[in-house]
Amino acid sequence: MVMSGRVSAYFLSDAHLGARCLADARETERRLVRFLDSIKGDATHIFLLGDILDYWFEYKDVVPKGHVRLFGKLAELADSGVHIEWLAGNHDIWLFGYFREELGIETYDGSRIVTLVGKKFFLNHGDTVGWRKPSFRFIQSFFRNKICQKLFSGIHPRWTVPFALWWSRKNRESDSEPTFDADKNSLVKFSKEYLAEHPDMDYFIFGHLHVMAKTTVEAAGADAEVVILGEWLKLCSYAHFDGKLLNLRCFEG
Ligand SMILES: [Mn+2]
């Protein structure tokens, strides 16, 4: 995808809306909507880099409850001509067409390469590249398996929704505080290796880690910036590309 003309692109991830751990889930959603309102009129592109929802599973004719303020705002922005993309995270993998049909936003699973005013962006939630625990890889292939998805969709959501939210909460409780070490981080390592093969890449943007970080990688005589987006549980962070520079910021509204 190559875009020209005025560009003001926003990147955010990991709001985990609906998460059982959120003290005031509605406020997290409202803050996100206030943010989207604040960039309305300026934004030409919005890239949602996964785990915006803590759990999402679409059925053929039915979708889960909730998130209507966010969905309404995204539909409004998409209708007004903002280009919006949603990359699946490990919590909102199961995007099967509803967002495209109902909200007018494109969804992707895995990595995405986008060119904005001549700059090349590599986008990924951060869970399908770099080193991952073998057990995490196994669960990922299970979650993405078409037959498993079909079987899962046959179980009444009365059972699957509470289970998924419990699973997510349990995993979060066992997670340690997020830290970032550019020398050891597997996404930075991945970016460096990728840059060596594709020296025309300018930016690598990821979510998933729940930390805000920006670092430079060099390989094959080229350099690129690696950006980790943070989250919307406490930090309310996002990256903004104004056509020339990319900055990481926190929304204060
Ligand atoms: Mn994630």
Q: Which residue(s) pair with 241 in the sheet?
A: 9, 246
Dihedral through CA 116, CA 4, CA 97, CA 24, nearest 10? 60
Distance 210 CA to ligand 1 centre (A): 8
Distance 4 CA to ligand 1 centre (A): 31
Distances (CA, A) of 55 to 66, 92, 247: 11, 6, 29
Distance 5 CA to ligand 1 centre (A): 32
Distance 77 CA to ligand 1 centre (A): 25
Phi/psi at 53 (5° precision): -110, 145
Distance 48 CA to ligand 1 centre (A): 12
Tens-digit pLDDT profile for residues 202-238: 999 999 999 999 999 999 899 999 999 999 999 999 9
Q: Which domains does the chain have, with CATH numbers?
A: 2-250 (3.60.21.10)
Q: Show the beta-strand stretches assigned E in 117-231.
A: 119-124, 203-206, 212-219, 222-229
Distance 36 CA to ligand 1 centre (A): 21
User: Percentage of the chain with pLDDT > 90?
Assistant: 69
Distance 53 CA to ligand 1 centre (A): 10
Distance 90 CA to ligand 1 centre (A): 5
In whole angstroms, give the CA distance from residue 75 to residue 156: 29
Tens-digit pLDDT profile for residues 158-207: 888 888 888 888 887 777 778 899 999 999 999 999 999 999 999 999 99
> What's the pTM?
0.93
Distance 246 CA to ligand 1 centre (A): 22
Distance 123 CA to ligand 1 centre (A): 14
Distance 120 CA to ligand 1 centre (A): 23
Residue 2 predicted with pLDDT over 70: no
- At position 85, the amino acid (one-letter code) is E
In whole angstroms, give the CA distance from residue 68 to residue 76: 12
What are the residues whose beta carbon lies below 5 Å from ligand 1 (ion)?
51, 89-90, 208
Tens-digit pLDDT profile for residues 23-39: 787 899 999 999 999 99
Residue 1 predicted with pLDDT over 70: no
